[in-house]
Amino acid sequence: MKKLLTIVIFLFTLFSLSFAKDKSFTDILEKGELVIGLDDTFAPMGFRDKQGNIVGFDIDLAKEVTKRMGVKPIFKACEWDGIIFDLRSKKIDLIWNGLTITESRQKQIGFSKPYFNDDQIIITRSNNITKLNDLSNKKIGVQMGSTSYFALENSQISKSIGEVKKYPTNVEALLDLEAGRTDAVVVDAVVGKYYISKKDGFLILNETLAKENVGVGLRKNDIALKDELDKALASIIEDGTFDSIYKKWFGNN
């Protein structure tokens, strides 16, 4: 009798877990929308155009993926330093904004399968800074809570840097560099290269601080939502839609 009771409890637990797994996506379907959090200054992944509309590479991807999932995307601007808290407290359903997959983030949230690769690069305006060691005693700008900040903190040059200046956004960091208030900025390659392609006088060091994989962030328990997200991402990669969106924002690079 005791053995039978144990089996019944096990099957009930298994059924409950399966139900919980399924509910994360059915809840989204019932709601009819998926709230996507982002830093709306993170060009070209997600940012505001001159009319104030949120546009970008990740925005186009998200629109296509959510269309295939049968829901409407709602884009919500968040403070990057607190965006994981916004996700975990259910203010948003996803983080889709060039989000690097890191070990520390994986302890807090789940991720889709990687869909993009990126580097952490150093941008400067000084001809005297050509390699990492030249950053000794210099003032370096970086976005708060970003993988750029952690890449710098974990690098071999971190102890020799004069000052690390932290900013709410990459744009503010790059503007201060342009104004001469810092000597260099550490930034995601995709963001930094897009920014300086529109301006003169910037240099990129040949050495990078880190290579990274990018994915969509979601709550760890939202397994069914992750499964549907991964399926939709795989389908746009397979049928060439991903390549079309990529070429729109990055050309043939």
pLDDT band for position 251 (cuts 50, 70, 90): confident
Residue 182 clears pLDDT 70, i.e. is over it: yes
Q: What is the mean pLDDT of residues 227-240?
A: 97
Q: What is the structure's pLDDT at 20?
A: 46
Q: Which fold has domain 2-115+215-250?
A: D-Maltodextrin-Binding Protein; domain 2 (3.40.190)
DSSP element (H, E) containing 118? strand 116-124
Residue 1 clears pLDDT 80, i.e. is over it: no
pLDDT band for position 5 (cuts 50, 70, 90): very low
Q: What is the structure's pLDDT at 188?
A: 93
Q: Are 182 and 141 in contact (CB under 8 A)?
A: yes
Q: What is each CA distance from 158 to 9, 145, 182, in whole angstroms?
A: 54, 16, 16
Quote the pTM value. 0.77
**Residues for the chain: how many in total?**
253
Measured between its terminal Cα atoms, the distance across the chain in Å is: 67
Residue 10 clears pLDDT 50, i.e. is over it: no
pLDDT tens-digit map of 150-177: 999 999 898 999 999 999 999 999 999 9
Sign of CA dihedral 21, 27, 32, 34: negative
Ordered by start, the domain boundaries in the chain are: 2-115+215-250, 118-211
Buried b (16+ CB within 10 A) or exposed e, 75-110: bbbbebeebbebbeeeebbbbbbbbbbbeebeeebb
Q: Which fold has domain 118-211?
A: D-Maltodextrin-Binding Protein; domain 2 (3.40.190)
Tokens 């789940």, residue? 110
Q: Which of 234, 242, 214, 218 is nearest to 28 (CA)?
A: 218
Q: Are 171 and 160 in contact (CB under 8 A)?
A: no
DSSP string spanning 53-99? Answer: -EESHHHHHHHHHHHHHT-EEEEEE--GGGHHHHHHTTS-SEE-SS-
Strand partners, 47: 41, 55
d(CA 28, CA 69): 10
Q: Same topology for domains 2-115+215-250 and 118-211, yes or no?
A: yes
Percent of the chain with pLDDT over 70: 91
Q: What is the mean pLDDT of residues 221-247?
A: 96
Q: Are 98 and 37 in contact (CB under 8 A)?
A: no
Q: What is the structure's pLDDT at 3?
A: 52
Name the token pair of 57: 């590479």
Residue 80 clears pLDDT 80, i.e. is over it: yes
Tokens 């976005």, residue? 143
Percent of the chain with pLDDT over 90: 77
